[in-house]
């Protein structure tokens, strides 16, 4: 298939079940909300070695937030529910509660499969001086801190979502592949319920499972490394004329959200001169519950 | 003591030993170096519940870096050396190696107590296709990845540094305390070998050790919570006229670096109208190896 | 009147007729769209001495723009129609056409009183090599440039709008007034068809008309200067307990848009501790066509 | 000549005399200093149709500025001295004086050919309430404004500098040329006494003098437009394999500063894969006083 002159490979992204939380961090200013959100989702690119996969879903303007202040919705994801709960307690406790002027509200709403008592548990930081209150019809806790009060909703919803949506931007050089990946991330930013957890939304070092070294569970995907083309022992699978590849990885609240994000991202990437092909990563369908076929997106 | 009309309390910040790593992340552009650095130091405010304390030390312009590209020096700190090594492997492996166009170089140089083989260990991601090379006289590994090659110096230096340098900015309202804290962070940014690991460099929720709840190892410092003034059971220690308090916490490569950072930060904060007092947190000298007296800084 | 414990003075903002243009700058990435927009609206705070009043209205995500790319809507305003046309030709010609990967589309749509042939006139830069084309049903010109093609819609709409909507944030110190002003600007950012043309949206130096120096048409409003309280020859009109004042000035496509922006901004400002009073600037109704009474907004 | 595998054309950049001002804008925080600087240098890409050429020279940390606060040095340039003075009065008066918490200091020091009484003239905004004062040995004026006092040094130095330093980054596609231009701008940012006045430092639409339309003094440089290759009536001068070109234009305090900036920028650009050639623009030496030969820089 061809989109704007760019070949869309007839393959699929293989995606996995994951538990997803989605909540809103507000602050006095957009700047302080962004500072808190960035700290909260940091060190959160992949659960291969990070304690969670995390990212910013979207900006919420003051007139759309429960407390009339600007904020960012963040998503934190983990394959195990109890680990996700740990991560919520640690990341909100250390990165939001400690941030200037912040508050936390649920953003999963009626989509939630389950509610975790995150605010309820964090309130004990108040050492007995915390108080229950209401903001816009939501039950919150007011925890007195040195700069004023920290407000957090008692329960935050989680649901089963989907991780590992992905596509590769292949281009005639590294700069084109990178610009193609950047515009894809800009486009995906606008798809609700999805994040691109890697740094800047982009993966520079897509990997394969396993390695010749037994102690490594994942290693470089040498078949797709441009600098290994022609190297002995490498079966290069990079088409001729491709010299740069970046991958976009997406986590979402649902398969449908992933599909929308992949479609928006690919549609943007193919507009960049030098982008030649869109590809996707999978394990032959043996590992993940979901197969998102690139050509069916369009 | 009085500085620019602001009272400097005659007390000390109690600080602790910590292991510190300090390395440079370069990238094609300043923007991509910043993206990688931010991801690497995220979820890194306090080892109470974060896996490390981390922050950006300084910007390095292209003409001062080993590979002639712009970069950021980041510091990652942990009380235990083996945990610090784990953190370096995980954070560089997941947040820098995966970032577009990045490379990693040691920035501890001859100050290092010890060299950890971080680059040497991460090179195995190359699955045998990695190669040893030299950049500006440094031994590096070139790891082929999908977007090109990732370069990392074989060994990164660490040293014993000092954590928990701190001061409180006390002001007549929250906004003044916050602006005082912001200008302090801007000033500390320019002191080499120091970071302010909390979000935006500022702590909104300074804590005390222990709690009435046995399962909490730390809790809100109710004696310094403005909204608890006059509350039954609270011995308020906030001076009259103070209604907002933010804390700055600093980790550094040495006690001297901490002192410089605290001096720079306090000197900036006292210029903000509404800032009334500078204070510091300690445990009576029972816990930390270092006592940094505020009044001796000036 | 009292809002969240803050006094709303029973006075009005006096506003004026002005010609307003509103157009969309798109680019490959959000970053490049922002660079172009910032350059275009710079040196554009007040027509007292700037060649125009200009600002960013809002961000437009890729799926809502005519060419499927991210962009920013900017507004450029001038009391004289022919000067506005000059400014559009100069600012788009020098600040957008020269920016990497940009395009320009009308954003006034059916609200326009009149269409100016801005794209039609700028196309002559193509020296005969320009071509007429269509994008999303709009007539555009493709102008070949060194980096590719620059696309601009042939006609850009303008209308009679309203300038000089304003309010003063008065607080117990400068930091509170500043934070109050910042949150007001964040809130106004979300009101379509309005801009806050001063730097960061905030006026630090509100002025009065005239001066004791004959060559000055405007000068400091000494009655509202906190550092002149008690100075001989000054009739201070600042209420007791106020030590910092910032003004927000708003231009909009209509009186209704101004009212919404003022309401959103004031609603946000009154939430900041230390903000004591909201005031507005006028000339007794002698100069402007519009009187926007603060208390009628709520 | 060849640099990192990229051809450096044996040609020269033709540069011109221009009057240059260089001054420091400080503010309470780095953020507010940046806001003021950005507004001040906006609408300042080229004097072809902008009222000045302007840009940010460098960041100055708190411990290196006269008032101990963070700031940005900006440069404003104009071929005519009286126009430069006008621009200084207008841009400082409207974009810095109006910005929150700012102050202005000379940064030309002993390099100045002449001192303009900019602060002396702007002080009349104080309507008689302004006062002379000293900051770090400099004579300043304190002008009372609504948010506090605005401080400005009485005299700001100007000198004869050089405008129009330039080079072209030619690459196999637009993305590579753009990334090459971006890294060049990052590198030039670190060369003191130079600015890249176009948006983001990059020119997307390099022009030739004159046009077939008599009313146009400049028009697109069709010989270097990739989309016109093969078009009838166009003598394409773009080498084979080049499909994207961006130009960097530099103004500086001296020819030496321009040379350093061009060298730094070119050295960075040639590292980007896909960049094929560096070129420069001139008028055969008939117009400008300076010829900066590319190959002599290395």
Residue environment code for C82-106, b if the CB has 16+ CB neighbours within 10 A, otherwise e = eebbebbbbbbbbbbbbbbbbbbbb
pLDDT for A136: 97
Chain B positions in Cβ-Cβ contact with residue C172 (cut-off 8 Å): 172-173, 274
Could you tell me if D163 lies within 8 Å of chain B, comparing CB atoms? no
pLDDT over threshold 90, residue A287: no
In the prediction, which pLDDT does A46 show?
94
Chain segment B169-189, per-residue pLDDT in tens: 999 999 999 999 999 999 999
pLDDT at D161: 98
Asked if A246 and A169 count as a contact pair (C-beta separation under 8 A), the reply is yes
In this structure, how many other beta carbons lie within 10 angstroms of the beta carbon of residue B33?
27
Torsion angles phi and psi, residue A156, rounded to 5: -120, 130
Please name the residue of chain B whose CA is at the shortest distance from the CA of residue D180. B28
Integer CA distances (angstroms), A184 to A161, A181, C119, D32, D244, in order: 21, 5, 29, 32, 21
The confidence score (pLDDT) of residue D287 equals: 85
pLDDT in tens, D42-74: 999 999 899 999 999 999 999 999 999 999 999
What pLDDT, on the 0 to 100 scale, is given for residue B217?
87
**Two structure tokens written together for C20:** 């307003």
Return the closest-CA partner of residue D68 out of C124, A93, B263. B263
Residue pair D260/D162 in contact by the 8 Å Cβ criterion? no
With contact defined as beta carbons under 8 Å apart, do A156 and A88 qualify? Answer: yes
Neighbouring chains of D at 3+ CB pairs within 8 Å? Answer: A, B, C
In the predicted structure, residue A163 carries a pLDDT above the cut 90: yes
CA distance, residue A76 to nearest chain C CA (Å): 24
B270 touching chain C per CB within 8 A? no
**Which chain D residues touch C204 with a CB distance below 8 Å?**
97-102, 145-148, 150
Per-residue pLDDT tens over the stretch D129-167: 999 999 999 999 999 999 999 999 999 999 999 999 999
Instruction: Give B223→chain C minimum CA distance, Å.
Output: 20
Touching chains, A (3+ CB pairs < 8 A) = B, C, D
Report the distance separating Cα B129 and Cα A186, nearest Å: 33
- Using CB atoms, which chains have 3+ pairs under 8 A with B? A, C, D
* Largest pairwise CA distance in chain D: 67
The confidence score (pLDDT) of residue A155 equals: 98
The answer to whether C211 contacts D177, with C-beta atoms less than 8 Å apart, is no
- B-C CB pairs within 8 A amount to 48
Does the structure show a pLDDT above 90 at C217?
no
Three-state secondary structure call for residue B155: coil
Strand runs labelled E in chain B: 2-3, 6-8, 12-26, 53-60, 71-78, 103-106, 114-116, 131-135, 138-145, 148-153, 156-171, 194-195, 207-209, 218-220, 244-252, 275-279, 290-293
Q: Shortest CB distance from D264 goes to which of B63, B189, B273?
A: B63
pLDDT-above-90 percentage for chain A: 95
At residue C254 the predicted structure's pLDDT band, cuts being 50, 70 and 90, is: very high
Put simply, the answer to whether A273 touches D175 (Cβ < 8 Å) is yes
Contact C147 D35 (CB under 8 A): no
Across the interface, of D29, D68, D186, the residue whose CB is closest to B70 is D186
Name the pLDDT band for C31 (thresholds 50, 70, 90). Answer: very high
Contact A143 B220 (CB under 8 A): yes
Which residue in D28, D182, D264 is closest to B29 by CB distance? Answer: D182
Inter-chain CB proximity B63 and D271 less than 8 Å: no
Q: Give the chain A residue whose CA is nearest to the CA of B236.
A: A146
Q: Would you call D273 and B148 a contact, using CB atoms and an 8 Å cutoff?
A: yes
Tens digit of each residue's pLDDT (9 = 90 or more) over A68-84 = 999 999 999 999 999 99
Nearest residue to B49 via CA among A35, A47, A33, A51:
A51
Asked if A92 contacts A26 with a C-beta cutoff of 8 angstroms, the reply is: no
- Give the residue-averaged pLDDT of B59-76: 97
Question: How large is the average pLDDT for residues B29-43?
Answer: 98
Whole-number average pLDDT of chain B: 97
Q: List, as own/partner pairs, every contact residues A220-224 make where C-beta atoms lie below 8 angstroms and the sequence separation is at least 24, other chains included.
A: A220/B125, A220/B126, A220/B127, A220/B129, A220/B143, A220/B144, A220/B145, A220/B146, A221/B146, A222/B127, A222/B129, A222/B144, A224/A168, A224/B146
Which range has the worst mean pLDDT, A217-221, B107-111, C75-79?
Answer: A217-221
Quote ipTM for the complex.
0.97
Domains and CATH numbers, chain B: 2-14+161-297 (3.30.70.520), 19-159 (3.30.70.520)
Instruction: Look at residues A190, A271, B202, A263 and name the one whose alpha carbon lies nearest to residue C67.
Output: A271
d(CA B88, CA B21): 8
- For residue B259, the Cα-to-chain-centroid distance in whole angstroms is 14
CB distance A273–D178 less than 8 Å?
no
Whole-angstrom Cα distance, residue B169 to residue B214?
A: 30
The string of pLDDT tens digits covering residues B198-209 is 999 999 999 998
A241 interface with D at CB cutoff 8 Å:
no
Closest residue of C to B183, CA-based? C175
pLDDT at B144: 97
**What does the block give as tokens for C197?**
């043309």
Nearest CA in chain A to C267: A68
Instruction: Nearest by CB to D190, from B62, B148, B182: name it.
Output: B62
DSSP structure string for chain D: -EETTEEE-S-EEEEEEEEEEEEEEE-SSHHHHHHHHHHHHSS-S-TTTSS-EEEEEEEE-GGGSTTSS-EEEEEEEESSHHHHHHHHHHHIIIIITTSTT-EEEE--GGG-SEEE-HHHHHGGGGTT--EEEEETTEEEEEEEETTEEEEEES-EEEEEEEEEEEEEEEESSHHHHHHHHHHHHHHHTTSTTEE--SGGG-BSS-EEE--SSTT-SEEE-GGG-GGGTT-TT----PPTT--EEEEEEEEESSHHHHHHHHHHHHHHHTTSTTEEEEE---STTSS-SEEEEGGGG-
- For range B148-167, the mean pLDDT: 97
Instruction: Tell whether A291 is within 8 A of chain B (Cβ).
Output: no
Say whether D127 and C219 touch across the interface (CB within 8 A): yes
Give the pLDDT band of residue A217 (cuts 50, 70, 90). Answer: confident
pLDDT digits (tens, 9 = 90+) for D254-280: 999 999 999 999 999 999 999 999 999
Instruction: Tell me which chain C residues have a C-beta less than 8 angstroms from the C-beta of A29.
Output: 179, 182-183, 186
Read off the pTM: 0.97
**pLDDT of amino acid D217:** 87
Q: Which of B19, B254, B255 is nearest to B114 (CA)?
A: B19
């Amino acid at each position: 298939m061809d989109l704007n002159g760019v070949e869309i490979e007839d393959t699929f992204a293989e995606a996995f079940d994951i538990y997803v939380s989605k909540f809103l961090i507000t602050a006095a200013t957009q700047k302080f909300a962004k500072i808190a959100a960035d700290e909260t989702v940091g060190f959160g690119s992949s659960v291969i070695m990070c304690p969670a996969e995390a990212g910013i879903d979207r900006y919420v303007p003051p007139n759309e937030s429960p407390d009339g202040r600007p904020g960012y919705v963040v998503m934190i994801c983990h394959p195990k529910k109890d680990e996700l709960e740990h991560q919520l307690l640690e990341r909100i406790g250390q990165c939001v509660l400690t941030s200037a002027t912040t508050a936390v509200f649920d953003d999963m709403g009626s989509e939630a499969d389950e509610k975790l008592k995150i605010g309820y548990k964090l309130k004990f930081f108040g050492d007995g001086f915390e108080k229950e209150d209401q903001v816009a019809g939501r039950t919150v806790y007011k925890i007195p801190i040195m700069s004023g009060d920290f407000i957090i909703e008692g329960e935050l919803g989680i649901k089963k979502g989907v991780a590992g949506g992905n596509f590769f931007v292949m281009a005639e050089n590294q700069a084109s592949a990178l610009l193609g990946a950047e515009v894809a991330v800009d486009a995906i930013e606008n798809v609700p319920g999805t994040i691109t957890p890697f740094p800047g939304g982009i993966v520079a070092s897509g990997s394969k499972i396993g390695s010749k070294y037994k102690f490594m569970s994942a290693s470089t995907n040498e078949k797709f490394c441009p600098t290994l083309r022609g190297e002995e022992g490498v079966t290069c699978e990079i088409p001729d004329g491709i010299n740069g590849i970046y991958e976009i990885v997406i986590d979402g609240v649902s398969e449908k959200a992933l599909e929308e994000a992949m479609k928006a991202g690919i549609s943007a990437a193919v507009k960049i001169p030098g982008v030649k092909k869109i590809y996707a990563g999978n394990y032959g369908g043996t590992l993940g519950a979901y197969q998102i076929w690139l050509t069916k997106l369009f």
